[in-house]
């Protein structure tokens, strides 16, 4: 079988066949059950997505219809292929809250004296609006209730009922919810600064632009991004600024012979000869929440090798260069 061969026209042919036969006979024809979740939306109608893909397969020249046990119906299989061909298959549940979103929600609960809030409250509505503008979850994974005021209200309960001062029975909160709450309780000033930066950055469009420019740094998980994903992307954008990096290297070479790593001493030229000459990465030692929106100073950058750079960013909170240096020394 070759689902990747199915094209848009094959799917359109299957949709036309569904319309001509009617739902029940169409499903019977392909030995499929009714979709319990994923429905393909097209021309104002809804279609059972798995059955449509099975039929589309049969409409492709040289291929037979798929049988029910040959593939799955969810996000990872049928839905993925149909969306890839440009069809709308709305998700059945809203995406999990990311750290960025939870930082904003937690900050709201904090401002409300760690009490939960309900939908008509203007601050809940405002947060719902902001969350819908965050460039984190792509449109195609958002359901019809994506971060609506009711959902935001429920999230404030998840946070508030896990605060140590809360007396009643807590709701079922997620692991990241609790992590962000803990961070707020342990490092309140820092988390407030992070929330401000995310809010201002999204409202000014600054973080939205940064996320478009550096989408390729999405490889880090939420738990490695202490300031959330949006600020993390901005952090990497700062570090990848060519002009700044070149300036830093020029300045460094005025007083140093080599571009050896500031933490472990690795020298790309020594290790790889002319192939490695001039290579070194820049790490910005000041987190965004403490530097704010100020211009990067050369003294805030250090030159380190790719391995050390990875290790600094591996876990939250990020290691300082001195902490990493100590680790390298302790394990030598």
- Interface positions with Zn ion (CB under 5 A): 239, 261, 263-264, 266, 283, 305, 308
* Residue 295: φ, ψ to 5°: -70, 145
In Å, how far are 103, 109, 129 from 217, measured between CA atoms?
21, 30, 26
- Shorter beta-carbon distance to Zn ion: residue 89 or 261: 261
CA angle 122, 132, 143 (to 5 degrees): 115
CA angle 221, 226, 230 (to 5 degrees): 70
Beta carbon of residue 187, minimum distance to Zn ion (angstroms, whole number): 20
Beta carbon of residue 262, minimum distance to Zn ion (angstroms, whole number): 8
- Shorter beta-carbon distance to Zn ion: residue 155 or 283: 283
Instruction: Compute the distance between CA of residue 158 and CA of residue 7 in angstroms, rounded to an integer.
Output: 44
- Shorter beta-carbon distance to Zn ion: residue 104 or 308: 308
Length of the chain: 332
Beta carbon of residue 234, minimum distance to Zn ion (angstroms, whole number): 12
How many other CB atoms sit within 10 Å of the CB of residue 232?
27
- Shorter beta-carbon distance to Zn ion: residue 199 or 245: 245
- Shorter beta-carbon distance to Zn ion: residue 222 or 239: 239
Beta carbon of residue 309, minimum distance to Zn ion (angstroms, whole number): 6
Give Cβ neighbours of residue 60 (< 8 Å, ≥ 6 apart). Answer: 5, 6, 7, 10
Instruction: Compute the distance between CA of residue 62 and CA of residue 51 in angstroms, rounded to an integer.
Output: 19
Beta carbon of residue 294, minimum distance to Zn ion (angstroms, whole number): 17
Beta carbon of residue 305, minimum distance to Zn ion (angstroms, whole number): 3
- Indicate the angle between helix axes 99-111 and 175-186, nearest 10 degrees: 50
- Shorter beta-carbon distance to Zn ion: residue 82 or 301: 301
Neighbour-count burial of 212, counting CB atoms closer than 10 A to its CB (0-12 exposed, 13-18 middle, 19+ buried): exposed
Beta carbon of residue 216, minimum distance to Zn ion (angstroms, whole number): 15
Question: CA end-to-end span of the chain, whole Å?
Answer: 53
- Shorter beta-carbon distance to Zn ion: residue 119 or 220: 220
Beta carbon of residue 249, minimum distance to Zn ion (angstroms, whole number): 16
The full DSSP string for 65-126 is PPPGGGS--STTTHHHHHHHTT-B---SSPPPPPHHHHHHHHHHHHHTTT----TTSHHHHH
Beta carbon of residue 222, minimum distance to Zn ion (angstroms, whole number): 17
- Shorter beta-carbon distance to Zn ion: residue 66 or 302: 302
- Shorter beta-carbon distance to Zn ion: residue 109 or 301: 301
Give Cβ neighbours of residue 16 (< 8 Å, ≥ 6 apart). Answer: none
The full DSSP string for 133-151 is H-SSS-GGG--TTTT-HHH
């Amino acid at each position: 079988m070759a689902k990747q061969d199915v094209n848009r026209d094959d799917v359109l042919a299957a949709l036309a066949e569904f319309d001509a036969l009617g739902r029940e006979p169409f499903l019977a024809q392909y030995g499929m059950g009714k979709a319990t979740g994923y429905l393909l939306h097209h021309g104002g109608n809804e279609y059972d997505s798995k059955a449509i893909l099975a039929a589309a397969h049969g409409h492709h020249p040289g291929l037979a219809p798929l049988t029910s046990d040959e593939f799955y119906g969810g996000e990872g299989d049928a839905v993925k292929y149909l969306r890839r061909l440009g069809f709308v298959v709305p998700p059945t549940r809203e995406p999990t809250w990311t750290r960025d979103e939870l930082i904003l929600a937690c900050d709201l609960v904090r401002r409300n004296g760690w009490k939960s809030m309900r939908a008509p409250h203007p601050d809940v509505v405002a947060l719902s609006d902001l969350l819908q503008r965050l460039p984190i979850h792509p449109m195609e994974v958002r359901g019809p209730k994506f971060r609506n005021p009711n959902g935001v209200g429920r999230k404030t309960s998840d946070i508030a009922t896990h605060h140590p001062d809360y007396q009643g029975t807590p709701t079922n909160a997620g692991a990241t919810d609790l992590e962000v709450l803990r961070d707020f309780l342990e490092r309140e000033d820092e988390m407030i600064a992070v929330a401000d930066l995310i809010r201002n950055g999204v409202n000014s469009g600054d973080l939205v632009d940064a996320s478009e420019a550096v989408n390729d740094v999405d490889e880090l998980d939420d738990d490695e991004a202490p300031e959330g994903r949006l600020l993390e992307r901005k952090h990497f954008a700062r570090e990848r600024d060519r002009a700044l990096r070149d300036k830093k290297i020029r300045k460094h070479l005025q007083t140093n012979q080599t571009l050896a790593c500031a933490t472990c001493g690795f020298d790309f030229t020594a290790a790889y000869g002319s192939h490695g000459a001039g290579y070194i990465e820049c790490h910005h030692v000041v987190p965004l929440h403490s530097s704010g929106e100020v211009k990067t100073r050369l003294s805030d950058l250090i030159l380190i090798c790719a391995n050390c750079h990875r290790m600094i960013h591996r876990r939250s909170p990020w290691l300082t260069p001195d902490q990493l240096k100590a680790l390298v020394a302790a394990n030598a």
